[in-house]
Each structure stands twice: as C-alpha cells, then as structure tokens.
Amino acid sequence: MKKVIYSLLAGAILLTVSCSKFTDIEPKGKNLLSTTDQLEMLLNKIFMMNDDDMRWMSGDVIRTFQNIPTLLSNPNKTRPAIIYSWDETNIDKMAELTAYDYTYETGYVNIGQIANAILSRVDDASGPESVKNQLKCEALVLRAYYHYILVNKFAKAYNPATAATDPAIPYVTENWDISIPTEKATVKEVYDNIIKDVDKAIQLNALPVVAVNRMRMSKPCTFAVKALALISMQKFDEASDAAKQSLAITNVVNNYNQMLTTYKGNILGNTYNVILRPLLKCEEDLFTTFGMELMNAITTEAWNAFETGHASRDKMTSDRMMYDYIIGLGNILLGLDYTFTYDISSGWNGGGFKTTQMYLIVAEAEIRKNNFTAAMEALDAIRIKRIDPSIYAPLKGVINNKAEAIIRLKQTSHGENLYSCHNFINKKRWNQLDDYKQTLTKTISGKTYELKPDSKLWIFPLPANAVNLNPNLLPQNYKK
C-alpha cells in the first residue's frame, strides 16, 4: 500500500480546511494535485472511526475507567453520565457539553479532503482514463458512506412520512461554493444523494472486484453501501436486491471458530483459544476501518444478548482470561461486573462494513414477506461461522413465524455488530418499525434505566464547534 506523503500534500494544498471546521468556515485555497497518481495517494490513509458514544447509547459497550454508580449519582451530570443513564431530561446539557465530535470531524474530513478533493480535480488530472474512472468511483462511494454514518448519528431515522422535512446534515459535494456556509439537507435529501452517488459509481463500473487493500472501496462495496442506505429508507426489496448483488461478487464469511490463536493467563498460566482477526486480511470485510477491541466493557445486557456459543463473546480475548478467571477488572474499575475486551492483536472493523451485513439485510427483507426459510438460510450463513460447532443447529426449517424470526434476526445482528457503530444504527432504524421497535433497558446498582424508541437521545447533538461557526446548522436536530 502506497504511503501518504504528507509533505507532498502540504505543498500541493495552499491552505487546507481545518479538520474541525471543514463544513463551517471558508477555505482559502484549493488542492493542486494534478496527476492520477497524486490523487490516488489521498485514498492511501488509515481510515478510523471513533464510535464510542454510539456504542454507549445502544447500551452495549462502555469505554471508561470511572466508577459508574458514583458517576451516575453525581448531581453534576457529565456527558458520559447522561448517555450511560439515558437521561433525556438533560439532553440540552449534553448538547452544551458536546464541544467536539470525532465522528463529525472524521466524516467531513474524509468527505472534504479526500472524496471531494479527488472529484474536483480528477477530470483535469493527467493519467489513464480507466484510473480516473476508478478514482471517481472510489470517491463517490466513500462520500456516500461517510454521509450515511453522519446522518445516522445526527439526524432522525428515516421515516417515509416525515423524511422530506426532517432536518439532517449538510451533504457536501465537490461543487460546494466555499464562500457560502453549508446548509442542512433534509433526511430525504441526504439519502437521495447517497443513492445518487452510488448509482453513479455503479454506472461507471470501474472498481476492481478486490481492492488493493480493504481500506479501499471495491465493486461489492458500491452495492453494499446502496443496500445499507435502502434498508434505512425502508425500501426493503430494493435493499435486498443490492445486498444480493454485493454477495454475488463476494460472499465470504470468515469462520471465527477456526481463526484462532492462544492466549496465556497471567496468574495460573492457563491457555485459551481466542479469535485472531488479522487487520486487512478478513475476506468478509468489504471496507475496513482500523480499531482494536481493547478495554471496552461489555454490559450485562449486551453479554446476554449474544447467542449461546457465539465466538465473538466466548472467544474474545478478555480481562477475565488475563487473570485466569480468578478476578476481573469490572468491579475494580467500574464498580460493575462487566467483562472487558482485551484483544491487542486483531483488527475489528468498527466503522466499516462486511458481507455479513448483506446477509442480514436479505434476511430482514425475507422476514417481511414471511419467507422464513430464505430468511433463516441467510442467518445460518453467518451463524455456522460464529457458533461453536458442538452446539450449532440451523434455523432453516425450524423457525416458521414472524415474531421468532425477528428475535433470531436481532440476535444474529447483535453478534455481528456489537463491536461497531452498526448496532446503534440498526436499533435506531428499527424504532420506526412496529414489529421491531422496543424499549431498551439496563440495570445498574439495582436501578433500571430505559431508552424508549421515540427518545430524543437517538439523535446526537451536533458539536458546538460546528454549530457556533455555522448558523445554517441551527437549531439542533433533536429539537424538532
């Protein structure tokens, strides 16, 4: 993989937009990269996604070393305390405490300084036409995907009845007049633009079946991003068709029960078989973002939501293994008996997307049509590679009613998406569907907390460093 040569980019860009203000202030210059080789270097970066607060809000994973009961009992509410306790009464304070947001930052930097930088220069660049078309496709799909992440965090879930008026985020293209502050698009406009971008990429058809590495977009990625957007738009059959097109190109699901290494405990020296998920080498990863599962505390509710025998729970390297199950860090650090992940060897795809999410989309679409055999077949394609072989049993031919099928879909989805932002995204969009929506609950120190489907907390506040500098972003989306 080519290295990003930052000195070259610094010389080629007269004055790039500051990271936190790309959509908020007027840039003073334009990038002058003039060849396809130079433009391609923009894509050779380590893509990352800090999705901690989305995981917190979905009730799955907590990243902190604070004593949680003490934190929640403090009358001076912090942002983590509001999220942990699902305290909607303090959502305005949460907005005040959101001075900065890494997802917003990362999303718009990747859109503005990579995707749009390429699209604004590629036609005039020197180089083969085939390479130009490939770069266009990569940039379009990258731009679509990061807008998809942003709209799912900062706006209301897509509701066909209200999407045309629900405020969302700016959809920033290469044609943006940098002298004019960006304006919010509606939820519908954002999704329409996502589909427009991926359809352009599909029409150009210039992406390779397998990218040079899994932090670059490939042909199946184009259909996968379209499928993710369409399922959020409640266009289930179209989403399933796009997912199947992606799977027709690559449908690999890695077998976590065979991707194993040995971990040795520090007290008794016992050995444990644990997952080794090598970064950039998992064929199921369509687009990868870098991230380790290190010191993330899995809540009791999230632990119990796994299917019995699931490798992502039972074979995840943990603090329990480190201390040979004699002690754990949960009670010591958090005041709660939670298990910490401790995998410093694997690359977990927290902010990207996988083939397994395509199977989940197919399953959900088939459930809506009461095609339970086809739905469970799609789930089994994932489960057989995740559940311990000694207890695995297929669902196909066993599950034959909608309520049970939905339970199994959610259970399988949980196992695939716990270590990512996609659990939050799915739970949020399911809140729009009568058969799927549910009130989330968790118990901390004997007190039960709830997050209802219509809670404003599903819409994260836009960061102050964006809102204060761009009046077009006002008001906050959760206030509508």
Give the CATH number of the domain where residue 11 resides. Answer: 1.25.40.390
- Whole-number Å distance between alpha carbons of 281 and 277: 8
Residue 158 lies in a domain: yes
Residue 155 lies in a domain: yes
Tokens of 391: 């207890």
Render each residue's pLDDT in the chain as its tens digit; 480 residues. Answer: 333 333 323 333 322 333 334 444 334 445 578 999 999 999 999 999 888 999 999 999 999 999 999 999 999 999 999 999 999 999 999 999 999 999 999 999 999 999 999 999 999 999 999 999 999 999 999 999 999 999 999 999 999 999 999 999 999 999 988 778 899 999 999 999 999 999 999 999 999 999 999 999 999 999 999 999 999 999 999 999 999 999 999 999 999 999 999 999 999 999 999 999 998 999 999 999 998 899 999 999 999 999 999 999 999 999 999 999 999 999 999 999 999 999 999 999 999 999 999 999 999 999 999 999 999 999 999 999 999 999 999 999 999 999 999 999 999 999 999 999 999 999 999 999 999 999 999 999 999 999 999 999 999 999 999 999 898 998 999 998
Query: Which residues, including other chains, have CB under 8 Å from residue 332's CB and lie 6 or more apart?
Result: none
Instruction: Look at the pTM and tell me if it is higher than 0.85.
Output: yes
Domain with 150, as residue range(s), is 6-48+100-250+459-479
Question: In this predicted structure, what is the pLDDT of residue 31?
Answer: 55
Question: In this predicted structure, what is the pLDDT of residue 7?
Answer: 31
Peptide bond into 167 cis (omega under 30): no
Residue 445 lies in a domain: no
- Whole-number Å distance between alpha carbons of 123 and 134: 12
Question: In this predicted structure, what is the pLDDT of residue 459?
Answer: 98
- Whole-number Å distance between alpha carbons of 281 and 378: 23
Residue 208 lies in a domain: yes
Residue 473 to residues 34, 232, 438, Cα–Cα distance (Å): 34, 23, 31
Residue 112 lies in a domain: yes
Angle at alpha carbon of residue 110, lines to 108 and 111, rounded to 5°: 60
- Whole-number Å distance between alpha carbons of 253 and 384: 9
Question: In this predicted structure, what is the pLDDT of residue 480?
Answer: 82
Residue 18 lies in a domain: yes
Residue 412 lies in a domain: no
Residue 427 lies in a domain: no
Q: How many domains does the chain have?
A: 1
- Whole-number Å distance between alpha carbons of 414 and 396: 19
**Strand partners of residue 277:** none
Q: How far is CA 85 from the centre of its chain?
A: 22
